[in-house]
Structures are given as structure tokens and as C-alpha cells.
Amino acid sequence: MNAYAQRVFDELKTKVPWEKEFLQSVEEVFNTLGAVLDENPQYEANRVLERMVIPDRAISFQVPWLDRNNKIQINTGYRVQFNDALGPYKGGLRFHPSVTLSVMKFLAFEQTFKDSLTTLPMGGAKGGSDFDPKGKTDFEVMNFCKSFIRELHHHIGPDVDVPAGDIGVGGREIGYLFGEYKRLTHRYCGVLTGKGIGWGGSLIRPEATGYGAIYFVQEMLARRNDSVAGKTVVISGYGNVAWGVAKKASELGARVVTISGSKGYVHCEGGLTGEMIAFMLELREKGLDLSVFADKFPGCKFYAGRKPWEVKADIAMPCATQNEVNGEDAAKLVANKVILVAEGSNMGCLPEAAACFQKNGVLFAPGKAVNAGGVATSCLEMSQNAGHTNWTSAEVDHRLHDIMVHIHAACVECGSRKDGTVDYIAGANIAGFKRVADAMVAQGI
Ligand code: NDP
Ligand code: 2IT
């Protein structure tokens, strides 16, 4: 690590030693900025790194709500508005029991560089709660969402901060949040993205993260005159991102052989069919157990308590949560001759796993580049809302594709090694960092 970056990182470590996920994401970015910091002394002179690791604002609030038995329940809500150098804050909301301030800060920090990579006008933010939507009735989820937005509405707006979905937050939650926002403010505006088609949502936004991830993978393979067609793909998760990846990869002729959840994975040797991919949506909407999938489709097998990375494949795409691929998982994938690993989830791989892929010549790309199609299409939703218009699926998909091609090119430009291969981690970090840093310098303190 460059001396300036090391000094800032060491100071951060002494300040918030308990924020493990946040420190992990900062270290990964700082590790790759050596040359950029050496070549641009104005960044240190303007103390850009020190300013980049402290959120502009981190809001934490109480969310009381009534459950189905009229009992009072209490959760903690967060919104971390990390950096607005490039535009209004933008980033998702996560409802999951594992949510802490550290998780929110790592996601908002990553989001700042991801949003920058899209070249669209968005700053970085993230929010959410330790609320667990699993096992709750629609009524309970609605009560929670109303209470959550009652505080959050003070801090957001179409030109201020525009939240969206993430783990545990999909169309249903965005609907409840939007409905209550309207009641509280008397404003019908693009304050949230991921809205329903028909009331301000954009076509292709549900598919966008997964489709974008596959468009990125296509670009990675194209540099080797290769393609997605005929490849065997293992993915984790069965949520929004996993669904989009499975749909597009299958459409392009790949065989997607796994999906997974926190309790295990399903292996479908013949590859997921259209019916199976559609059933992923039903599973999530009804909150069914993943094992139901294997019961419904003969030929698919559920492996309880195991991860999909033990299955032989050409391409592996973590699409569930952070740090879901460890060094051991990576070694298994490498031993099985995986050629490409692309993160659909944010920080899906532990540093030791990413290092293992890079050391063994596996093409590896980080979430902030691979999954940026989701937030990019959120920005396209904001454009449609601001222009009081709707674009066709083809129009949105075309723009999404162009954005992913551009992000890939930026990673190649900033991450090319002397031997012609690409360090996508460095490429994504450097390309994302430069735009944010230059804007911060230009805007002063
Ligand atoms: P969903 O809530 O739709 O699905 C989450 C999936 O991940 C489920 O299959 C869930 O399985 C699994 N999962 C969640 N937490 C854990 C855990 N602790 N251990 C194992 N499995 C887990 O979320 P998304 O698909 O929206 O998000 C998935 C990832 O993609 C996240 O990292 C998110 O930040 C990232 N992302 C999402 C974007 C979006 O537009 N939605 C955009 C860019 C990135 P189970 O229910 O069994 O726990
Ligand atoms: O991690 C992410 O980029 C998201 N959850 C999507 C954010 C958004 O604002 O669409």
C-alpha cells in the first residue's frame, strides 16, 4: 500500500477497529491506488483519502412497529450518505438481521465507486435495518416499512438521496415505502427506484443487475475470443440478482446448474429451465424454503448446509451476500478449472479468495463493476421519472448494455497489466476513484 494510503488506513483501524466489513472494503480499494496517488499529489494535498473514509452523514434511528398480535417490536434503521461529489446520494436498502453500521458503511463506500463507474450523476449511499422480513405477514412488513420511512423521509428526495432495493427489499417493500412517503410529503416523485411498472417503475429494472452482470461477463470473455454460450455456470442465491443472472445466462446458451440460500444449495445437472427460473420468483415471494425447489423438480438435488462452489463449472457467480466465497471455496473452484469468477453480490469474495483466483490466472471481476447495472438502471428510472415519460424494454436494455460495455472498457483501461491481462479489481477501483477524487478536489472543502 502507498505510504499515504497506509497512514490513513492505520488511523481508520484505530478509530473503528470493530467495523470489520467496512475496513475490509477500504483496504481493498486503498491497496490498488498506489500509482494514482503517486502521480496525483493533489489528492494528498487535499486530504482526499481522509475525507473519503468518513461518511458525509450516517443516520441511525429507532423503528417501532406493531406485529400481528399488536405487540410492539423495535428495530434499528440506518441511512449512510457516504459521498455526494458526483450527484445525489443513491444506493439500496437492505432488510436483514445481519445489518449493522459496519455493513451499511462498507456497502455505501463501495456504492460510491460503483456509481462513479457508471459515469451517471450519482453519489454513494446505503441504508436498511436489522428487520427480518422472513416469516412476517404482508401486514407486518407494511407496518415496519411505514415506520421506517416516517423517519427516513426527512433525509431523502429526488435531488437529495434516492434509495432502492437490496437484500430483503423488493417490489413489495418499495411499494409500501413509496405509499407512505407520498402520504407524509404530498409529493409523487422519483424518490425511490425499483417502483412497480405502471406507477413510476422502469421496465428491465428487476432484471438489470443480473442482465448487466452477464453483459459484463460477455465482455470479459470476448477479450479471449470466447463467449457465454455452452458454458457451465454455478451461482449462489435465489433472489433478485441470481434470478436475472440465471435468466440471461440461460438465454445466451449457458447451463446454470446451481442456486443456493443460507441453508444449502440446489444442483440441477441438466441446467435450470425457464420454468425453474420463473419458480425462483415464486419461492422468494412466498418465502418458501429452497428445498421445495428440489422436491418440485425431479433431477434437482438439495444439499443441506453446503455451498455451490464444490460443483465443477466454467463460470462462478456469487449472487447472495458479502464474504460468501472463502479461500477454501476458491481453491475448490480452481481445482475444478473454473475460468471466470464475477461477483453479483457486493464483496462476495473474501480477499484470500480473490487473491487465489488472481494467482491462478482465473479471470476475476469485483461486484462494484459486475453488479453496477442495477444502480445504473435505477438512474435510468430516475431519468424517466424526471422527464415524465416511460421507455420501452428495448430502449432500457440497450442503454444498460452500453453502460456495462463502458464500465468494462474503463476497467481494462485502468487495470491492464504489462502482459496484456487485466486486474479488474485495480481497474474498477482506479476508474471509480478518479472521478470521485477529481470532483472532491474541484468542489473544495
Ligand atoms: P434478495 O433478497 O433478492 O436475495 C438474497 C439471496 O441471498 C437469497 O437467496 C438469500 O437466501 C441469500 N442470502 C442472503 N443473506 C445470506 C447469508 N447471510 N448467507 C447465505 N445466503 C444469504 O437480494 P438480492 O438478490 O437483491 O441481493 C443479492 C446480492 O446482490 C447482495 O449482495 C446485494 O447487495 C447485491 N446487489 C443487489 C442489487 C439489486 O439490484 N438488488 C444490485 C447490486 C448488488 P436466504 O433467503 O436463504 O437467506
Ligand atoms: O448494491 C446495489 O447497487 C443495489 N442494491 C442497487 C442500488 C440502487 O440504487 O438501485
Cα 319 from chain centroid (whole Å): 9
As to burial, measured by CB atoms within 10 angstroms (0-12 exposed, 13-18 middle, 19+ buried), residue 297 is: middle
Neighbours of 153 (CB within 10 A): 18
Q: Are residues 193 and 248 in the same domain?
A: no
Question: Domain for residue 393, yes or no?
Answer: no
CATH classification at residue 355: 3.40.50.720
Q: Are residues 221 and 146 in the same domain?
A: no
Distance between CA atoms of 42 and 48, rounded to whole angstroms? 9
Q: Does the annotation mark 126 as catalytic?
A: yes
Q: Are residues 347 and 244 in the same domain?
A: yes
Cα Rg of the chain, angstroms: 21
b/e map 26-45, b = 16+ CB within 10 Å: bbbbbbbbbebbeebeebbe
Q: From 156, 180, 199, give the residue that closes a domain.
A: 199
**Residue 168, C-alpha cell as written in the block:** 430483503
Q: Are residues 215 and 344 in the same domain?
A: yes
Residue nearest to atom 1 of ligand 2 (CA): 92
- Residue range 105-136, pLDDT digits in tens: 999 999 999 999 999 999 999 999 999 999 99
| Total structural domains within the chain | 2
DSSP 310: G
**Residue 126, C-alpha cell as written in the block:** 446505503
Q: Which residue has the cell 478509530?
A: 15
What single string gives the DSSP state of each residue in 150-172? HHHGGG-BTTTEEEE-BTTB-HH
Q: What is the mean pLDDT of the chain?
A: 97
Q: Are residues 273 and 332 in the same domain?
A: yes
b/e map 224-257, b = 16+ CB within 10 Å: eebebeebbbbbbbbbbbbbbbbbbbbebebbbb
Distance between CA atoms of 237 and 243, rounded to whole angstroms? 8
Q: Are residues 362 and 221 in the same domain?
A: yes
**Residue 332, C-alpha cell as written in the block:** 475448490
Question: Domain for residue 91, yes or no?
Answer: yes
Q: Are residues 223 and 365 in the same domain?
A: yes
Q: From 171, 199, 227, give the residue that closes a domain.
A: 199
- For 70, 74, 179, the CA distances from 67, given in Å and listed in that order, are 5, 10, 19
pLDDT tens per residue, the chain (445 residues)?
Answer: 999 999 999 999 999 999 999 999 999 999 999 999 999 999 999 999 999 999 999 999 999 999 999 999 999 999 999 999 999 999 999 999 999 999 999 999 999 999 999 999 999 999 999 999 999 999 999 999 999 999 999 999 999 999 999 999 999 999 999 999 999 999 999 999 999 999 999 999 999 999 999 999 999 999 999 999 999 999 999 999 999 999 999 999 999 999 999 999 999 999 999 999 999 999 998 888 899 999 999 999 999 999 999 999 999 999 999 999 999 999 999 999 999 999 999 999 999 999 999 999 999 999 999 999 999 999 999 999 999 999 999 999 999 999 999 999 999 999 999 999 999 999 999 999 999 999 999 999 9
Ligand 2 center to 250 CA (angstroms): 23
Question: Domain for residue 433, yes or no?
Answer: no
Catalytic residue among 126, 146, 195, 307: 126
Question: Measuring CA to CA, which residue among 56, 58, 44, 53 is closest to residue 15?
Answer: 53
Residue 262 in contact with ligand 1 by CB distance below 6 A: yes
CATH classification at residue 163: 3.40.50.10860
Q: Which residue has the cell 431519468?
A: 383
Question: Domain for residue 236, yes or no?
Answer: yes
Contact 412, 224 (CB under 8 A): no
Q: Are residues 353 and 256 in the same domain?
A: yes
Q: Which residue has the cell 452482470?
A: 213
Ligand 2 center to 123 CA (angstroms): 12
Contact 122, 157 (CB under 8 A): no
Q: Are residues 139 and 119 in the same domain?
A: yes
Residue nearest to atom 9 of ligand 2 (CA): 91
- Residue range 74-95, pLDDT digits in tens: 999 999 999 999 999 999 999 9
Where does residue 204 fall: left (phi above 0), alpha (psi -120 to 50 degrees), or beta otherwise?
left
Question: In terms of residue numbers, what domain contains 226?
Answer: 206-370
Ligand 2 center to 166 CA (angstroms): 6
Neighbours of 74 (CB within 10 A): 10
Q: Are residues 227 and 364 in the same domain?
A: yes
